[in-house]
């Protein structure tokens, strides 16, 4: 059966379920006793399993199936809820999300193998709530050699090597009277060049035998992607003790453990699991069939949920090109009804206008036109509302992020969110995610102090990051506030001067606020120690330019030792802006109002040339003058006579200002931005086009490109 038509529904549904699961998992972590939460996760896992099974996505089905098993026991009180379980459940969530994202972009399940995770879940079942005793748990001290691997497919003797796929090789080796050996080499704690040292070990081994497999993989060892020890499967004709002796003679090796591979180990590991798996699958298919009948009906395809696209990795980016699903908005049916009503009104008014025209009654006509105006305004509002989605969609990934980050950094941090229901345009939602991640990471990494520092400052040990959204007139405000150390202007200034971001002369006139705003200059990053999270040189300037590209602004308030607050202000929608319409010869252009500082007239005589650039002295500042008609290559039928007074529109971009010379002003107007599309490239100074009242097209000038 062709399932492709259900793929989109499956992805939408799964994403919704996963989002829900994420929220519940976070709750569960703080509230391990709540049986309702467990039931809810169980229900979600069950639903996803059913759907995935029907669609034939075995990896997803496998993971959810095992989750279900574990959750079932937990629900029955046979296994207590521990951090181990919650962590594993989070891992399951990540794995499922990975698969769903992959399905969305490529139509295939992700290549990530789910079996280690499945094994982990099975371990939990067997060991009643903990991972198998020999399995290293990430948090443990790295005193014993076994605990240095992160992978957890550990066999009973503590080796992480998976022999199942090389059973044939081993059997053959044994038939030729060679010894397959499992060797674990632990490097000295102070070993500087781990890759080089392990290379020597490999070299030594290869002189008297063959390395069949290593854990971690050879490339990872080369890249030093291991802690202190690694394991190899080695086939040799020499004895185990000789090999052990040889390796132990290499310097900087703290421990060598050699064990011969038993013949029965090969047999059991290579054949048995496969059979087992098949049985599981068969069983599952049966279950799935019965389940799907019970699963509530899928939503109408017309009302689809918007989908995010993963853009972290390069290959995902490539996958994006052949993305299978398109951007959609899930719309409240009430809003559609409202839209429907307004359109019926339009039809009624059309008839009314026709009648009024026929009778020639002037006042009837005027009434009708006025009514038409009211309807179009409401219609416009209604359509805009359809495009609005709650910021919740962006916000709900943050609790998890804060949880993970604070764990990594050893800080105790709570995230308080409010105003998740605030609505913004669909196009904005996609764009604000990254800047917000950046700001929240900054707050956690640089803002909130270590627990000790907080204690010494007399603050609560638990740091707070607040994320708020609220509408404010025609804009939406999003705040990221922390009660951390605040921003130290002196420190900022020091760094800015070191990095040459600011000149000494500039500094003299700067207030503390100006100094803090240096944060937003390119090439500025204050992280003292480079962490995984932030401090990679790309800084707040990226956030600022992103927000500005959305026609928004970002501000920062900070009080030393009390905390800091970043305020993002975004327009409700990107599609409609206030603009100043101007004339250039016969052509009309729109200038976005939020770029315009003021409009003035300038005497032609006051213009002087500095380095081939026309400038005027305006309010004691030199203002570069740009002749818009030259920039836009406006054709004049006849050479315009130079007027003595020129109309100048002063535009700004950050600190930069320039005066644009125009022929005449038409007025302020609300315009709908239309894209010029991809066919017309190269017109960088043109931000788009808009359709005027008379049906003709006017171009929108992007002043940012002129400065």
Partner 1 sequence: MSNIQEYVVFKVNEESYGIDIKYVENIEKMLPITRVPYTEAHVQGVVNLRGNVIPVIDLRKRFSIPREDFTDESRIIIVNYKEYTVGMIADSSSEVFQIDRDNVDPAPSIKAGSDDFVREIGKHEGRVVMLIDLKKVLGIESIEAE
* Residues annotated as part of the active site: 46, 68, 442
Of 220, 187, 213, 181, residue with least CA distance to 201: 187
CB 678 to partner 1: min, Å: 7
Residue 696 in contact with partner 1, rule: CB under 8 A:
yes
Residue 666 in contact with partner 1, rule: CB under 8 A:
no
Residue 509 in contact with partner 1, rule: CB under 8 A:
no
Strands (E), 261-302: none
* Residue whose token pair is 């899928």: 298
Quickly count: other Cβ atoms within 10 Å of residue 641's Cβ.
Answer: 5
Residue 633 or 641 with smaller CB distance to partner 1: 633
Residue 409 or 676 with smaller CB distance to partner 1: 676
Residue 458 in contact with partner 1, rule: CB under 8 A:
no
CB 386 to partner 1: min, Å: 16
CB 587 to partner 1: min, Å: 7
Residues contacting 96, CB < 8 A, separation 6+: 14, 18, 48, 60, 63, 64
CB 680 to partner 1: min, Å: 5
Helix (H, G, I), strand (E, B) or coil at 206: helix
CB 688 to partner 1: min, Å: 8
| Percentage helix, strand, coil for the chain under 3-state DSSP, each rounded to 5 | 45, 20, 30
Long-range own/partner contacts, residues 517-523 (CB < 8 A, 24 or more apart): 517/556, 518/492, 518/493, 519/487, 519/492, 519/556, 520/544, 520/554, 520/556, 521/496, 523/499
Residue 401 or 634 with smaller CB distance to partner 1: 634
Residue 143 or 681 with smaller CB distance to partner 1: 681
Number of residues that bind partner 1 (CB under 8 A): 27
Residues contacting 453, CB < 8 A, separation 6+: 485
Residue 424 or 699 with smaller CB distance to partner 1: 699
CB 310 to partner 1: min, Å: 22
Region of 73-81, 166-174, 507-515, 685-693 interacting with partner 1 (CB under 8 A): 685-693
Binding positions for partner 1, 288-317, rule CB under 8 A: none
Quickly count: other Cβ atoms within 10 Å of residue 141's Cβ.
Answer: 6
Residue 340 or 680 with smaller CB distance to partner 1: 680
Residue 346 in contact with partner 1, rule: CB under 8 A:
no
Retrieve residue 561's tokens. 């030792």
Which listed residue (683, 687, 702, 703) binds partner 1 by CB under 8 A?
683
Residue 296 or 677 with smaller CB distance to partner 1: 677
Residue 271 in contact with partner 1, rule: CB under 8 A:
no
Interface mask toward partner 1 for 566-595; x: CB under 8 A: ---------------------x--------
Helix (H, G, I), strand (E, B) or coil at 145: helix
Q: How far apart are CA 706 and CA 182, in angstroms?
A: 67
Residue 697 in contact with partner 1, rule: CB under 8 A:
yes
Residue 698 in contact with partner 1, rule: CB under 8 A:
yes
Q: Find the angle CA(121)-CA(125)-CA(131) to the nearest 5 degrees.
A: 65
Contact at 8 Å (CB) between 470 and 422? yes
Residue 501 or 699 with smaller CB distance to partner 1: 699
Which H/E stretch holds residue 609?
Answer: strand 608-610
Residue 321 in contact with partner 1, rule: CB under 8 A:
no
CB 635 to partner 1: min, Å: 8
Retrieve residue 672's tokens. 């709908």
Residue 264 or 321 with smaller CB distance to partner 1: 321
Residue 691 in contact with partner 1, rule: CB under 8 A:
yes
Which listed residue (489, 675, 706, 707) binds partner 1 by CB under 8 A?
675
Region of 74-82, 383-391, 431-439, 678-686 interacting with partner 1 (CB under 8 A): 678-686
Residue 420 in contact with partner 1, rule: CB under 8 A:
no
Which H/E stretch holds residue 698?
Answer: strand 697-701
Helix (H, G, I), strand (E, B) or coil at 677: coil
Residue 686 in contact with partner 1, rule: CB under 8 A:
yes
CB 354 to partner 1: min, Å: 21
CB 702 to partner 1: min, Å: 12
Residue 680 in contact with partner 1, rule: CB under 8 A:
yes
Residue 689 in contact with partner 1, rule: CB under 8 A:
yes
Strands (E), 419-559: 423-425, 463-472, 475-482, 553-559
Which listed residue (353, 575, 676, 707) binds partner 1 by CB under 8 A?
676
Interface mask toward partner 1 for 613-652; x: CB under 8 A: ------------------xxxxx-----------------
Residue 699 in contact with partner 1, rule: CB under 8 A:
yes
Residue 350 or 407 with smaller CB distance to partner 1: 350
CB 357 to partner 1: min, Å: 23
CA 45 to the chain's CA centroid: 24
Which listed residue (360, 458, 473, 682) binds partner 1 by CB under 8 A?
682
Q: How far apart are CA 313 and CA 327, in angstroms?
A: 20
Beta strands 621-627 and 656-662, pairing class = parallel
Q: Could you tell me the strand order of the sheet in which 686-691 lies?
A: 664-672, 576-584, 587-592, 697-701, 686-691
Quickly count: other Cβ atoms within 10 Å of residue 317's Cβ.
Answer: 13
Q: How far apart are CA 9 and CA 100, in angstroms?
A: 12
Which letter, b or e, does each residue of 471-506 get, where b requires 16 or more Cβ atoms within 10 Å of its Cβ?
eeeebbbbbbbbbbbbbbbeebbebbeeeebbeeee
Q: What is the DSSP letter of 24?
A: H
> What residue ranges bind partner 1 (CB under 8 A)?
587, 631-635, 674-686, 688-689, 691, 695-699
């Amino acid at each position: 059966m062709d399932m492709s038509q259900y793929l989109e529904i499956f992805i939408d549904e799964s994403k919704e379920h996963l989002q829900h699961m994420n929220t519940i998992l976070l709750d569960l972590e703080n509230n391990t006793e709540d049986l309702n939460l467990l039931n809810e996760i169980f229900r979600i896992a069950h639903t996803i399993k059913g759907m995935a099974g029907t669609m034939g996505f075995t990896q997803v089905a496998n993971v959810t199936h095992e989750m279900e098993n574990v959750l079932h026991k937990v629900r029955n009180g046979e296994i207590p809820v521990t951090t181990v379980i919650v962590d594993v459940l989070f891992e399951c969530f990540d794995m499922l999300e990975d698969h769903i994202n992959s399905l969305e972009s490529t139509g295939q399940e992700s290549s990530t193998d789910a079996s280690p995770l499945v094994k982990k879940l099975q371990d939990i079942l067997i060991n009643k709530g903990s991972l198998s005793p020999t399995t290293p748990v990430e948090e443990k001290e790295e005193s014993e050699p076994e605990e240095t691997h992160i992978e957890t497919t550990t066999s009973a003797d503590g080796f992480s090597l998976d022999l199942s796929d090389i059973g044939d090789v081993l059997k053959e080796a044994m038939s030729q009277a060679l010894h397959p050996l499992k060797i674990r080499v632990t490097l000295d704690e102070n070993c500087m060049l781990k890759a080089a040292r392990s290379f020597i070990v490999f070299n030594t081994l290869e002189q008297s035998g063959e390395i069949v497999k290593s854990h971690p993989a050879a490339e990872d060892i080369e890249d030093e992607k291991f802690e202190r020890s690694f394991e190899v499967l080695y086939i040799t004709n020499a004895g185990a003790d000789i090999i052990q002796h040889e390796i132990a003679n290499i310097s900087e090796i703290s421990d060598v453990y050699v064990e011969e591979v038993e013949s029965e180990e090969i047999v059991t590991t290579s054949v048995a699991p496969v059979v087992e798996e098949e049985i599981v699958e068969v069983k599952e298919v049966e279950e799935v069939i019965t389940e799907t009948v019970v699963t509530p009906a899928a939503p109408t395809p017309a009302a689809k949920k918007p989908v995010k696209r993963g853009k972290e990795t390069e290959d995902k980016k490539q996958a994006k090109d052949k993305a299978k699903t398109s951007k959609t908005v899930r719309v409240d049916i009430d809003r559609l009804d409202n839209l429907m009503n307004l359109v019926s009104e339009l039809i009624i008014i059309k008839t009314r206008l026709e009648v009024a025209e026929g009778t020639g009654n002037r006042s009837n006509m005027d009434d009708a036109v006025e009514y038409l105006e009211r309807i179009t305004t409401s219609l416009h509002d209604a359509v805009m509302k359809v495009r609005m989605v709650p910021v919740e969609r962006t916000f709900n990934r943050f609790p998890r992020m804060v949880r993970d980050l604070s764990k990594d950094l050893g800080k105790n941090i709570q995230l308080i969110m409010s105003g998740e229901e605030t609505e913004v345009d669909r196009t904005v939602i996609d764009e604000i995610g990254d800047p917000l991640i950046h700001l929240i990471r900054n707050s956690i990494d640089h803002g909130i102090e270590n627990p000790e520092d907080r204690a010494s400052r007399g603050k609560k040990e638990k740091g707070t990051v607040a994320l708020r959204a609220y509408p404010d007139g025609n804009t939406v405000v999003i705040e990221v506030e922390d009660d951390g150390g605040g921003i130290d202007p002196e420190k900022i200034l020091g760094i800015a001067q070191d990095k040459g971001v600011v000149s000494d002369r500039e500094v003299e006139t700067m207030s503390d606020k100006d100094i803090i705003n240096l944060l937003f200059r390119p090439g500025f990053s204050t992280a003292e120690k480079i962490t995984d999270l932030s401090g990679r040189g790309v800084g707040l300037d990226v956030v600022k330019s992103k927000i500005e590209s959305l026609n928004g602004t970002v501000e920062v308030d900070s009080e030393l030792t009390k905390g800091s607050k970043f305020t993002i202000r975004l327009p409700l929608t990107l599609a409609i802006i206030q603009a100043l319409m101007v004339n250039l010869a016969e052509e009309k252009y729109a200038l976005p109002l939020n770029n315009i500082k003021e409009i003035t007239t300038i005497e032609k005589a006051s213009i002087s040339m500095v380095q081939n650039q026309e400038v005027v002295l305006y309010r004691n500042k030199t203002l570069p003058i740009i002749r818009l008609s030259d920039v836009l290559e406006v054709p004049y039928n006849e050479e315009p006579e130079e007027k003595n007074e020129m109309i100048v529109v002063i535009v700004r971009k950050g600190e930069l200002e320039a005066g644009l010379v125009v022929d005449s002003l038409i007025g302020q107007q609300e315009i709908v931005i239309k894209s010029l599309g991809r066919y017309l490239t190269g017109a960088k100074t043109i931000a788009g086009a808009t359709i005027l009242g008379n049906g003709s097209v006017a171009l929108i000038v992007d002043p940012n490109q002129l400065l």
